[in-house]
A and B are shown apart, each in its own frame.
Chain A
Amino acid sequence: GDSVTQMEGPVTLSEEAFLTINCTYTATGYPSLFWYVQYPGEGLQLLLKATKADDKGSNKGFEATYRKETTSFHLEKGSVQVSDSAVYFCALTLNTGGFKTIFGAGTRLFVKA
């Protein structure tokens, strides 16, 4: 079935380190791909999205490229800050008659000063 797999956390980095969170998907159709971020005690917020192959989503220094050939949408940031500490969710939306959304398990990121 359709699914999203993210690297397990927690991921602990020092400030200014490079971040990669891997995300791969399995989908029967042609999904749109998203990264959401959840800060403690809050709901999810969209971080970035890509709707077709080779699209690059970017926001607040984060980037991810829709790779159809490897069914991946890895999240990267060149220099993380303490304020980036949160849980990051990779997600896809598929047209199945209606549009269903499938989230990965989430990856918790801790950034140390």
Chain B
Amino acid sequence: DSGVTQTPKHLITATGQRVTLRCSPRSGDLSVYWYQQSLDQGLQFLIQYYNGEERAKGNILERFSAQQFPDLHSELNLSSLELGDSALYFCASSVASGGYEQYFGPGTRLTVT
């Protein structure tokens, strides 16, 4: 158990809909990262927050957004969903920003039908 929790574990929704994925980092970790894992694209870095502020952006679509709240939990919002958004979404946390070890949550499996 990494100490990172993600909810929900599974999510099935229809095209065009909007969903919110939630992540609680390990106690004491200030940085949260979001990743998308799909069979064709592999593991893609989406975005990083550090202590409530956006720190780095990867291959995140404009239809996706994220935020980190004062209690350090984070939410990833996915809107106007397409079939191709079906994937595993991982959250990870680290103690700070930088070359630190990231602790991964168990993931949320999103299926768009």
Provide the bound-state CA to CA distance between A102 and B98, in Å.
13
Contact B99 A105 (CB under 8 A): no
Interface of A is mostly: strand
Interface of B is mostly: strand
Q: Is A28 an interface residue (CB 8 A)?
A: no
Contact A93 B43 (CB under 8 A): no
Q: Is A71 an interface residue (CB 8 A)?
A: no
B→A interface (CB under 8 Å): 2, 4, 33, 35, 42-45, 48, 50, 54-58, 90, 92, 97-99, 101-107
Q: Which residues of A contact B105 (CB under 8 A)?
A: 43
Listed by A's residue number, 10 A-B pairs whose Cβ atoms lie within 8 Å are: A32-B98, A43-B2, A43-B4, A43-B105, A93-B98, A98-B56, A100-B56, A101-B48, A103-B44, A103-B45
Q: Which residues of A contact B98 (CB under 8 A)?
A: 32, 93, 95, 99
Provide the bound-state CA to CA distance between A106 and B38, in Å.
12
Nearest 8 A/B pairs, CB to CB: A98-B56, A32-B99, A98-B55, A43-B104, A103-B43, A44-B104, A100-B56, A105-B42
Q: Which residues of B contact A49 (CB under 8 A)?
A: 99, 101
Which residue, of B101, B103, B106, has the highest number of chain A Cβ atoms within 10 A? Answer: B101
Provide the bound-state CA to CA distance between A34 and B35, in Å.
16
Q: Is A83 an interface residue (CB 8 A)?
A: no
For B107, the closest partner residue in chain A by CB is A43
Least CB distance, B100 to chain A, in whole angstroms: 8
Number of interface residues of A (CB under 8 A): 25
69-92 of chain A: CB within 8 A of chain B: 89
Provide the bound-state CA to CA distance between A105 and B37, in Å.
10
Q: Is A14 an interface residue (CB 8 A)?
A: no
Least CB distance, A111 to chain B, in whole angstroms: 22
Least CB distance, B54 to chain A, in whole angstroms: 8
